[in-house]
Amino acid sequence: MPNLKELKNRISSVKSTRKITSAMKMVAASKLRRAQELAESSRVYADSLSFILSSLAGNTKNSSDLPEILTGRENSKISLLIINSSDRGLCGGFNSNLFRNAKNWISEQQERGKSVKIITVGKKASSFYKKTDLDVIANFDDLNSNDKQLQVSEEIKNKIMELFENNEIDEVSILFNKFVSVITQEPTYQSLIPLSNEEADEEVTDTSNAVFEFEPDKNELLEYLVPRNFLTQIYRSVLESSASEHAARMTSMDNATRNAGDMIDGLTLTYNRTRQAFITKELIEIISGAEAV
């Protein structure tokens, strides 16, 4: 028969866990709202910028006129992957999904004979990749405020521009959890170098009715645009990732709270049954004792 005291302790510990998880859920929900707003409002700028960039690139007939940083190098050997994880845990499969996805991607690249370098964003990724034998060139963490997110994006941008110029990398992609809805987050890749074709394809239909004039000339504009585009795309991925993180935490904490509730119900039932059984047992003992006299 289970010990009554033990059961009681168990119930109270599950109860306090439930308190924590439900508080975390509430905190995540309120942070999510803000993060989602930020992510959505930053999309406008990012979309316009990539529209401009791709109409600029699309407008140049001869792709060899474009700088390498847009088109990528031929025979690229080294890919850089920027992985956007979270700083904290307790957010369900948020990080592990991402890492599993990254693992597939990395082995795919290696099969093609490319070597892979990694920049991690968030403490979870940096501690995860420390244990692997992959080449991690930089870690960024503590992205707890919007200013910090912008600042980190700027640092990453400078880093990749520098690495690309020094021929240390040939391709750059970002991996982040795209915020689809509160219950779904999708690990998504976005190619920075070369500029992803996806947008350029959409472009074809749009440019047909608008051929832009450029001022100052294209090359000068590109010089200004390319770094700015990197910054915006990185910043956007960081924001999406943070919205996804809060959403993932909210759903997983919601589940945890519900599970704790179920557990408390079950435990309370056993507790009451055991208590009842004890009383019955004691009664039987008293009665049979009295009868024996």
Partner 1 sequence: MINLKVVSPQKVIFEKEVEMAVLPGAEGDFAAMPNHSPFISSLRPGQMVIMSANKVDESFFVSGGLVMLKEKVCEVLVDQIESLSDVNSSNYQQSKTFQELEGNETALGTFEQVLNNPPYK
In terms of CB distance, is 51 or 99 closer to partner 1?
A: 51
Q: Say which amino acid occupies 178.
A: K
Q: What gap in Å lies between CA 164 and CA 195, rounded to an integer?
A: 14
Q: Strand 185-193 and strand 115-121: pairing?
A: unpaired
Q: Could you say whether residue 49 binds partner 1 (CB under 8 A)? A: yes
- Residues 29, 253 contacting (CB under 8 angstroms): no
Burial 34-72 (b: 16+ CB within 10 A, else e): ebbebbeebeeebeebbebbbbbbbeeeeeeebeebbeb
175: which residues sit within 8 A by CB, 6+ positions away? Answer: 81, 82, 83, 84, 98, 101, 102, 105, 187, 188, 189
In terms of CB distance, is 47 or 168 closer to partner 1?
A: 47
Q: Could you say whether residue 265 binds partner 1 (CB under 8 A)? A: no
For partner 1, which residue of 14, 24, 35, 38 counts as binding (CB under 8 A)? 38
Q: Could you say whether residue 200 binds partner 1 (CB under 8 A)? A: no
In terms of CB distance, is 108 or 206 closer to partner 1?
A: 206
Tokens 């704790």 sit on residue: 260
> Residue 235's closest CA among 90, 110, 121, 131?
121
Q: What gap in Å lies between CA 126 and CA 141, rounded to an integer?
A: 8
222: which residues sit within 8 A by CB, 6+ positions away? Answer: 56, 66, 67, 70
Applying CB under 8 A, which part among 37-45, 180-188, 191-199, 280-288 lies near partner 1?
Answer: 37-45
Q: What gap in Å lies between CA 76 and CA 114, rounded to an integer?
A: 7
For partner 1, which residue of 1, 210, 290, 293 counts as binding (CB under 8 A)? 210
CB of 161 to partner 1, least distance (A): 18
So which residues are the catalytic ones? Answer: 91
CB of 134 to partner 1, least distance (A): 31
Q: What gap in Å lies between CA 14 and CA 7, rounded to an integer?
A: 11
In terms of CB distance, is 189 or 214 closer to partner 1?
A: 214
Other beta carbons within 10 Å of 267: 19
Applying CB under 8 A, which part among 44-52, 109-117, 168-176, 254-262 lies near partner 1?
Answer: 44-52
For partner 1, which residue of 212, 268, 269, 285 counts as binding (CB under 8 A)? 212
CB of 184 to partner 1, least distance (A): 25
Within positions 219 to 248, which residues make up the interface with partner 1, using CB under 8 A? Answer: 220-221, 224-225, 228, 231-232, 235
For partner 1, which residue of 48, 96, 104, 197 counts as binding (CB under 8 A)? 48
Long-range contacts of 205-210 (CB under 8 A, 24+ apart): 206/51, 206/55, 207/55, 207/58, 207/59, 210/55
For partner 1, which residue of 56, 66, 175, 226 counts as binding (CB under 8 A)? 56
Give me 196's structure tokens: 């992803």
For partner 1, which residue of 137, 150, 182, 200 counts as binding (CB under 8 A)? 150
Applying CB under 8 A, which part among 49-57, 101-109, 128-136, 256-264 lies near partner 1?
Answer: 49-57
Q: Could you say whether residue 290 binds partner 1 (CB under 8 A)? A: no
Q: Could you say whether residue 60 binds partner 1 (CB under 8 A)? A: no
Q: Could you say whether residue 45 binds partner 1 (CB under 8 A)? A: yes
Name the residues that contact partner 1, by CB under 8 A: 38, 41-42, 44-46, 48-49, 51-52, 55-56, 146, 150, 210-216, 220-221, 224-225, 228, 231-232, 235
